[in-house]
């Protein structure tokens, strides 16, 4: 039996735009089964200010962010034009995209919802640095608890 991705995996665009002052949407992880995958594609079109990406937790969508300091698994491809291989990085609480090489990067974070602090169940991507001449697109992907033709919204509580 073939699996149907849009009926089983929730794919949510968290951000697309300038790779500085990233204002990621916040998603509720209440309907997630297993890990939340954060996929970032960074286009290094110009501007040499490294972009540091991290995760933040929230008590609800729309509530203030608290930095996540726990480490999590990270994979990266630091030059997607040279190939499609992602390599496991050292677990960390953030990842720095070196924009000095002007290459396109793909980064993947794996967040385990069991690691949320007590009372927290919402997630966003935070940043520091970056350059408005570069762009990035960020998606969250997770297996939905309640599968079907229409999956529950994630950018609501």
What is the DSSP code string of 87-154?
Answer: EEPPPBSEEEE-GGG---EEEEEEE-GGGSPTT--EEEEEEEEEEEEEEEEEEEEEEESS-SSSPPPS
Report, at the CATH architecture level, how domain 8-144 is classified. Sandwich (2.60)
Q: What is the pLDDT of residues 119-151, one digit of tens each?
A: 999 999 999 988 888 889 999 999 887 777 777
pTM: 0.92
The domain ranges of the chain are 8-144
pLDDT tens for 73-91 read 999 999 998 999 999 999 9
Decide: residue 133, CB within 10 A, 0-12 exposed, 13-18 middle, 19+ buried. Answer: middle
């Amino acid at each position: 039996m073939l699996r149907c991705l849009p009926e089983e995996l929730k794919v949510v665009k968290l951000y697309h735009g300038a790779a500085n002052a990233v204002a990621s949407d916040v998603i509720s992880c209440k309907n997630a089964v297993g890990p939340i995958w954060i996929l970032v594609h960074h286009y290094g079109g110009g501007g040499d200010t490294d972009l540091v990406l991290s995760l933040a937790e929230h008590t609800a969508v729309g509530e203030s962010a608290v930095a996540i300091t726990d480490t999590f698994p990270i994979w990266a491809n630091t030059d997607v034009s040279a190939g499609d291989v992602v390599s496991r990085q050292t677990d960390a609480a953030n990842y720095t995209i070196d924009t000095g090489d002007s290459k396109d990067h793909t980064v993947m974070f794996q967040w385990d919802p069991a690691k949320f602090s007590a009372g927290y169940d919402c997630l966003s991507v935070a940043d520091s640095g970056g350059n408005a001449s570069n762009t990035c697109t960020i998606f969250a992907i997770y297996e939905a608890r309640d599968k079907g033709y229409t999956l529950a919204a994630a950018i609501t509580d």
